[in-house]
Amino acid sequence: MLTLSFDFTVDPQSRPGHPWCEIQSQVDGKVFLSYDCGHAKIIIPSVLGEEVKTIKAWETQIETLRDIRDWIKDQMHDFTLEKHMPRDPRTLQARMTCRCEDDRHVSGSWQFGLNGVMILHFDSENGHWRVDHPGGRWMKEKWENDRAVTNFLKKVSMGDCRG
């Protein structure tokens, strides 16, 4: 079994010198790259990252990170306009996880959090949303009827494990 995950953190009010968005990619729990969304800069902190650079899937990973960055930008604009959001600085966290079993069966999911509290879960395999905290209701209502969001989340989580 192979497990791929992306952990991303978005802080629209980040301090100078700190990225507004950062994505960390892991295979089986081992970090193989970090991506500074604001500068479109990839950091390869390990030997595993160097190995990943040599395989064909590398270009797909770079493209996926850019797609996620662009999607995050679009969503953060909506979050700042959302009346249910707290007025204080807010940080969006998300974790995309996908697993490819030995028989090639793929499963994937997303978890979303605000200010460190996980509030919403999306099962990419069956397309179901689950609210884990009352603060996630408005996100669920916004996203569950948006086919573009659902398709994007499925494509990223289910497609990357097959790749």
Q: What is the pLDDT of residue 81?
A: 45
Q: Is 100 within a domain?
A: yes
Q: Is 87 within a domain?
A: no
Q: What is the SS3 assignment for 137?
A: helix
- Number of domains forming the structure of the chain: 1
Q: Is the dihedral angle over the CA atoms 153, 54, 39, 23 positive or is it negative? A: positive
Q: Is 86 within a domain?
A: no
Per-residue pLDDT tens digits for 84-105: 555 555 778 889 898 888 787 8
Domain range for 72 is 2-9+19-81+92-162
What burial class does residue 138 get, using C-beta atoms within 10 Å of its C-beta: 0-12 exposed, 13-18 middle, 19+ buried? middle
Strand order in the sheet with 30-36: 41-43, 30-36, 21-27, 2-10, 92-100, 106-114, 117-123, 128-131
Per-residue pLDDT tens digits for 27-53: 888 887 888 877 777 777 666 555 555
In the block, tokens 């497990």 appear at 3
Q: Which residue has the higher pLDDT, 136 or 60?
A: 136
Q: Is 14 within a domain?
A: no
In the block, tokens 């573009």 appear at 148
Per-residue pLDDT tens digits for 107-150: 899 999 888 889 999 999 899 999 999 888 888 988 898 898 88
Q: Is 157 within a domain?
A: yes
How many CB atoms neighbour CB 90 within 10 A? 17
| Percent with pLDDT over 90 in the chain | 10
Token couple for 57: 């899937």
User: Which CATH number goes with the domain that contains 51?
Assistant: 3.30.500.10
Q: Is 32 within a domain?
A: yes
Q: Is 139 within a domain?
A: yes
Q: Is 141 within a domain?
A: yes
Q: Which residue has the higher pLDDT, 38 or 154?
A: 154
